[in-house]
Amino acid sequence: MTWCILCEQKKVENWFGSFCGECRQIKNLGNVYGFERVLDILKKCCIRDENQLEKKIDNHKRPKSVGDVGDETHHDMPIFDKRVTRSKVSTD
């Protein structure tokens, strides 16, 4: 068996193919959406510059405080009383 021509780390999926299973999926996405579009998405989402890397490192170093982005509590949401179900509704 031969090695995948894209990742060069895994063996090809079958004897007449050129790609492993994962790289074949990447190739198929490029065929469907266009290789330029897929490359643009990868550059925007996966590649980080030095400032982005430092900011991410700093965010992991500092302890989370109330109100941080991604905080699970929503302080601007209205506070409701206990839920009233049909079994607890008064028929007055």
pLDDT at 86 over 60: yes
pTM: 0.51
pLDDT at 85 over 60: yes
pLDDT at 65 over 70: no
- Exposed, middle or buried, 29 (CB in 10 Å: 0-12/13-18/19+)? middle
pLDDT at 7 over 60: yes
Band of pLDDT at residue 42, cut at 50, 70 and 90: confident
